[in-house]
Structure 1
Amino acid sequence: MLEKKSIDYEKAVLIGVMNRDQDEHKVKEYLDELEFLTYTAGGEVTKRFTQRVEVPNPKTYIGSGKMEEVQHYVKENEIGSVIFDDELSPAQQNNIEKLLKCKILDRTSLILDIFAQRAKTSYARTQVELAQYEYLLPRLTGLWTHLERQRGGIGMRGPGETEIETDRRIVRDRIALLKKKLSKIDRQMETQRGNRGALVRVALVGYTNVGKSTLMNVISKSDVFAENKLFATLDTTVRKVVIGNLPFLLSDTVGFIRKLPTQLVESFKSTLDEVREADLLLHVVDISHPNFEEHIDSVNKILDEIKSVDKKTIMVFNKIDKYQPEILEEDDLITEKTSSHFTIEEWKKTWFSKIGDRALFISALNKENLDEFRKRVYNEVRDIHVTRFPYNNFLYPEHLDQY
């Protein structure tokens, strides 16, 4: 009997800073997410370092004392990667690398690396490669001496093997070529979208790993890749869905995340066009996540950037089966009741009440409340369809349950 080969994860440490915008609790939350990103990229976090820094050190981002502590730990434990939660300047990245003598990544380069792993189609790979080169351009000098293709590991995919003598002009030429290639594919995709006819378009949007692909599979009875890792889906998947007798197009889009690299927002412009051109957005939220409200804000911020924040939207609060509020004992007169103690019914009485019937609570995995979900989507799509084709409204009853 063959023995299962264990996955060889690369050892990594994380570094985050506390300042006036990020207190200790916030930094812990960000580093939790960064650790999940690291795991998704193929790394194992062995230690976290934090420091209060009101103004980042222009040379090494963190103070010299903390840097010495990190340096000692990296050397003693043969650490492969040191990952900073915030974006480093090219000079900081270069200086830190000389001190620690290992790979130095920031949140942006880590996300780019995950996208490079996850990109399956030629189009997605081209988008990611463009984002990587645009990130690489100001960081060419002295940065890539250790990046040989055969080493593998975190941060080594895509244009990482670029040698130190690479001329900026060559990289700019490559960027121009990739943009030209994307522009050609964009025109083809625009034609494809135009050929879909006048069907109502519905797009799933949301933070990464909230269950969009699982919901897509349930609604459309398709087989979209879904996994409990960040950015499991990069390529937009579009399926024709029929609820009752009403057909519409449903698209599953790339997940959003806090501090999403601007290079990715730009290079994934065409993918995000599915969101821009949608008639209805289904904003999927993982209500079991303790910081789901911040996830909503992060998604809305990116929707605002692509001028889609004002679109007709239904909030779909997913994973109700996993939602577990903290228990507050009745005789506990010391602990202050906060939102972490709210039941879903109590949440519905907060700002949720302003959403009204535009908020749905489901479990896509366990298929809970999906009938209510289908009725709500049906009625929304029907309203859009009737507005677009006023002479066909006799085909569709007022409510799905009339079937």
Structure 2
Amino acid sequence: MRAPPPFAPFEWLIAWRYLRAKRAEGGVSVMTWISLVGITLAVFALIATLAVRSGFRAEFVDTILGSNAHVTVYHVSHQNDAGQTVRTLPDYKTMADSVRGVPGVTRVAPLVKGQVMATANDSNAGVEVFGIAEDDLRAIPRIADPETGRGALDAFANGVAIGSGVAQTLGVGLGDKVKLISPNGVKTAFGVSPRVKSYEVAYIFTAGRYDIDRTRIYMPFAEAQLYFDREGVADELEIIVEQPESVERYVTPIAQAAGAGALIWTWQDASGGFLKALDMEDNVMFVILSVLVLIATMNIVSGLIMLVKNKGRDIGILRTMGLTEGSVMRIFFICGSFTGIIGTVMGVALGCLFAIYIDPIFGAVNWLSGGGAWDPSIRGIYFLPAKLQLADVMSAVVLSLGLSFVVTIFPARRAARLNPVEALRYE
């Protein structure tokens, strides 16, 4: 007589009868329900954490790449025509034209930068001024976004563009005047006289990064040269490339095009430490949550052992009827793994729903906590993002199902090796 194939229909039928039997009949125990809920919550927590992690990293990187240079070109210290030691770019136009010819470079913008004090309405704020041409400012996605910006960049030539945080600190709006005070002013017989000049607010932007919106002001390039006494020179070149995630491969060609004395600084150099710390934190969180999934799946063992003990008489009868050890093992393997499958499916559903509806969920949490649940001055961005990725969901599914199947094997083998004579001796 030919042996039935593994996981034959009768094995599924017996396993299903055990699972849906009442506890008084030796069916599913309380421990099984606990393991089901535990696996569901553990998988939900894992997927939710991975989604928030991916969303936070994506939003953080996007705000960096959308409002900052991918590559910045500086110059080593040198003496200008007046004998002063400076780090400006003397022939920035020629250098910019040369860098534009590098394959993969999409934009090159000369900049004049300086730190000044902004004041208005008896309020002060330390800000960083970026002198930039209007066309180059329009090419910065996070700054020139019409959905988040207020005002018109057409008026930029006659004013300045300020961050929404700067506007809030100073209490100014479109058309108001902002006074900029630079300590590096004109040298007189009585010392250095601060340079003071007022500018009209022509545009207010929101880049999505707290530190940028609270500290940055854009000024027309020619006006910045005049204000900071950079006539005929620039402080640096702001470079945008096609593939910023692979920015390292552009460093050597850009350095060669920029010529001798050029120094290169990439966005990864500026934020690499934070991104590495973020990656390390992500790995630690994944390990911790994986332990939670393991603990939840270990409850399957307790529930399955109790089920095997309650079904000892049935196992003995089935064995005397001709069921092999393999069939008995597969029956109880199905009972245990089915709990893991159902818990995983429910956890994935809850985790995906959390990631999709994170905004109203976070809004409710913020309301219940009385506000201030997310501090942008600490987090850097204004909201809690979440980004579902197939790889993250699949890693959670594989981890949960893998652990559920592995821990189920041991009590299932114990059931298969149960001696039918011992099981029926006192029946």
Is the TM-score greater than 0.5? no
The structure whose residues are more often strand, as a share, is 2
Whichever of the two has the greater Rg, that structure is 2
TM-score normalised by the shorter chain: which range applies? Answer: under 0.3
TM-score (norm 1): 0.22
When the two structures are superposed, what TM-score results if normalisation uses the length of structure 2? 0.21
**Which structure has more helix as a fraction of its residues?**
2
